[in-house]
Amino acid sequence: MTGLWVLLLVSCLAIVAAVARHVAVSRRRARRRRARSWVGEPRLSRAHAEQRSLKLLRSVVNREEWEMYRDLGFMCVDGRRPLRPDRAQAPGPRYRYLIYPNLPVVALLPRSMAPVREYCIEFPERRPNGEVEMLPAGDDMLAKWMTLRSDEEQLLAFANVSSVDCQVPMGQIERDLKRLERWRRARVAGSPRAAARAA
């Protein structure tokens, strides 16, 4: 008789454990389903995504860089990697960079502003369905800007390096450098409107 009670007790405990496991699994599944519904944002229109990306870019970069991008359509920033110590030049960055949206980063010599090479780097946007799209312009600019600021060496090491005039035409680079010079002179003269006109 005692053996029968033990068998009955073990059976009851097994049933309770199975029910408890089933309830726990059901709750986890329900939580996942609930999380999916509020975690996944509805897809933005391309125009709205562009506006949001520009707003984010403006909130992160400094005022001069934002105004440069707004007026000229690109940014020129100093690199943080110093010149090699064996060079007998004044201290300063090894390169300056022209950052264009969805185009390679163009490296310039810091004094002469002569273009020396292009660094092709992409930050594609991968959709859950496997689609790959180009980032909105502001997001692409911000990704390049942040990478150059935080880990210039890494960007230069992993980018595809090509000669100047590979993807960004030399004529465009020369025109943009002249526009940048006029923009900076007008800005130094104290007129943001003149700077925008000069661009």
Per-residue model confidence as pLDDT tens digits over 113-166: 999 999 998 887 777 777 778 889 999 999 999 999 888 888 888 888 888 888
User: What one-letter code names the amino acid at 84?
Assistant: R
- Strand pairing category for 115-120 and 160-162: antiparallel
Residues 6 or more apart whose CB falls under 8 angstroms from that of 175 comprise none
Residue-wise pLDDT for 91-111, tens only, equals 678 899 999 999 999 999 988
The yes-or-no verdict on residue 199 having pLDDT over 70 is no
16-20, 114-118, 170-174: the lowest-pLDDT one: 16-20
Residue 108's CB: how many other CB atoms inside 10 A?
22
